[in-house]
A = this chain, B = another copy of it.
Amino acid sequence: MSHTYEYARAALTVDCVVFGLGEDELEVLLIRRALEPFANRWALPGGFVHIDETLEDAALRELEEETGLRKVYLEQLYSFGAIDRDPRERVVTVAYYALVKLSDHKVRAATDASDAAWFAVSDLPDLAFDHAQIVDMALNRLRAKVRYQPIGFELLAKKFTLTQLQRMYEVILERTLDKRNFRKKILGMDLLVELDEVQKDVAHRAARLYKFDDRRYRKLVKQGFSFEI
């Protein structure tokens, strides 16, 4: 079966930039392409949008098919439409991005990807298409976002120490933060609930654990705040 139109049409794809928080690095999930163009090159998970699915459904489907990741909260990033971004023909892609906990997501390659793996954003391989540009835009969006929205709910374990929270900001912003100043600001936002628990199984002195106040977190996501970090 084939489909005929009066005017030439671009093909429409989706691509996903999925960030996870590694030990000392922000990581991004890549797949190794099995097929041409760019066979064997690393690329963002993604693919063609079916005529009967929404953009977001397409992104979720491709992400699961190519990496095994499910139930990820995707946010739309930007649509890339440069004329020559795909050597085959005109392809416009709608890019999405997401933050996930690395521990929740064992990745496995599937369908037209021969491999799937996490890479440190500071040490990415040569990417297919304009995917390096897409990753860059996602990074900029994330770095801008930490200034006016709470962040971490999707990246950190349910219970975390203030040091772990600060480390997350440092990894995203790629700079060290003053400990005292950071704690004063983050505690001043009423975003955290101090638990009656400390870390277990640590060599050093066990630190206090915190969690996010769900209601306050959602409220701040909605109305924004200013975190001059």
Contacts and interface: CB of A to CB of B under 8 A. Distances in A.
Q: Is the interface of A mostly helix, strand, loop or mixed?
A: loop
Nearest to A10: B12
Interface in A166-214: none
Contact of A9 (B51, B54, B148, B224): B51
Interface in A18-56: 48-56
Bin the interface of chain A by size: 35 or more
Interface stretch (A73-81, A106-114, A157-165): A73-81
A147 interface: yes
Interface string A84-98: 000000101010000
A104 interface: no
B12 A224 contact: no
Given A224-B147, A226-B226, A83 B54 contact: yes
